A and B are shown apart, each in its own frame.
Chain A
Amino acid sequence: MGETAPLCARIAAIARNDPARAALADGTRSATYGELWSQASRFAAWLRGNGVVAGDRVALVLANGIEAAAACYGAWLAGAVAVPLNAQARARDLVPWLQHCGARAIVHAAGSADVDEALRAPGTPALRVAVGAGARSDTTVSWDALPACADAPATAHHAGDALATILYTSGTTGAPKGVMLSERNVASNVDSIVEYLALGAHDSIVSVLPFYYSYGASVLHTHLAVGARVVLESNTVFPQLVVEALARERATGFSGVPSTYALLLDRVPLAQYDLTSLRYVTQAGGAMAPALTSRLRAALPNARVFVMYGQTEATARLTWLPPERLDEKTGSVGIPVPGVELDVRSESGAPLPRGEVGEVWARGANVMAGYWNNAEATAQVLRDGWLRTGDLGRLDEEGYLFLSGRRSDMIKTGAHRVHPQDIEEVLAEIDGVVESAVVGIDDELLGQVIKAFIVGREGSVPTPEQVKAHCRARLPIYKIPKHVEFVAALPRTASGKVRRVQLAGTPQIQVPK
Chain B
Amino acid sequence: MLFGQGGCDVALELQRQVKDFVLRNFLFTDDDKALANGDSLIRGGIVDSTGILELVGHLEQAFAIRIPPEDMTPANFDSIDAIGAYLARRLAT
Answer yes or no: A259 CB below 8 A from chain B CBs. yes
Answer yes or no: B73 CB below 8 A from chain A CBs. yes
- Check if A259 sits within 8 Å of B73, measured CB to CB: no
Stretch at the interface among A53-61, A292-300, A321-329, A469-477: A469-477
Secondary structure at the B interface, as helix, strand, loop or mixed, is: helix
B48's nearest neighbour on chain A, judged by CB, is: A477
Answer yes or no: A173 CB below 8 A from chain B CBs. no
Complex alpha-carbon distance, A259 and B24, angstroms: 25
Which of these, A267, A446, A465, A478, contacts B72 with CB under 8 Å? A267
Stretch at the interface among B6-14, B39-47, B85-93: B39-47
- Check if B29 sits within 8 Å of A238, measured CB to CB: no
- Check if A478 sits within 8 Å of B48, measured CB to CB: yes
Chain A residues bordering chain B, tally (CB within 8 A):
24
A471's nearest neighbour on chain B, judged by CB, is: B28
Q: Which residues of A contact B51 (CB under 8 A)?
A: 237, 477
Answer yes or no: B69 CB below 8 A from chain A CBs. yes
A463's nearest neighbour on chain B, judged by CB, is: B28
CB distance from B45 to the nearest CB of A (A): 5
Complex alpha-carbon distance, A446 and B69, angstroms: 20
Which of these, A237, A446, A469, A478, contacts B42 with CB under 8 Å? A237
Secondary structure at the A interface, as helix, strand, loop or mixed, is: helix
Which of these, A237, A466, A469, contacts B48 with CB under 8 Å? A237
Taken residue by residue from 466 to 501, chain A's Cβ proximity to chain B (1 for < 8 Å, 0 otherwise) reads as 101100100011100000000000000000000000
Q: Please judge, given known A-B contacts A88-B45, A240-B72, A240-B73, whether A446 and B28 are in contact too, CB under 8 Å.
A: no
- Check if A237 sits within 8 Å of B52, measured CB to CB: yes
Answer yes or no: B49 CB below 8 A from chain A CBs. yes
Taken residue by residue from 52 to 85, chain B's Cβ proximity to chain A (1 for < 8 Å, 0 otherwise) reads as 1100000000000000011011100100000000
- Check if A238 sits within 8 Å of B74, measured CB to CB: yes
Could you write out 12 A-B pairs with CB less than 8 Å apart? A237-B48, A237-B51, A237-B52, A238-B73, A263-B49, A414-B50, A445-B50, A446-B50, A468-B28, A472-B27, A472-B28, A478-B48
Q: Which residues of B contact A (CB under 8 A)?
A: 24, 27-29, 42, 45-53, 69-70, 72-74, 77
Sorted from nearest, which 8 A-B pairs have the closest CB atoms? A469-B28, A468-B28, A236-B49, A465-B28, A240-B69, A237-B49, A477-B45, A268-B69
6 more contacts with CB within 8 A, not counting A239-B72, A267-B72, A465-B29, are: A235-B48, A237-B49, A238-B73, A269-B69, A469-B28, A477-B48
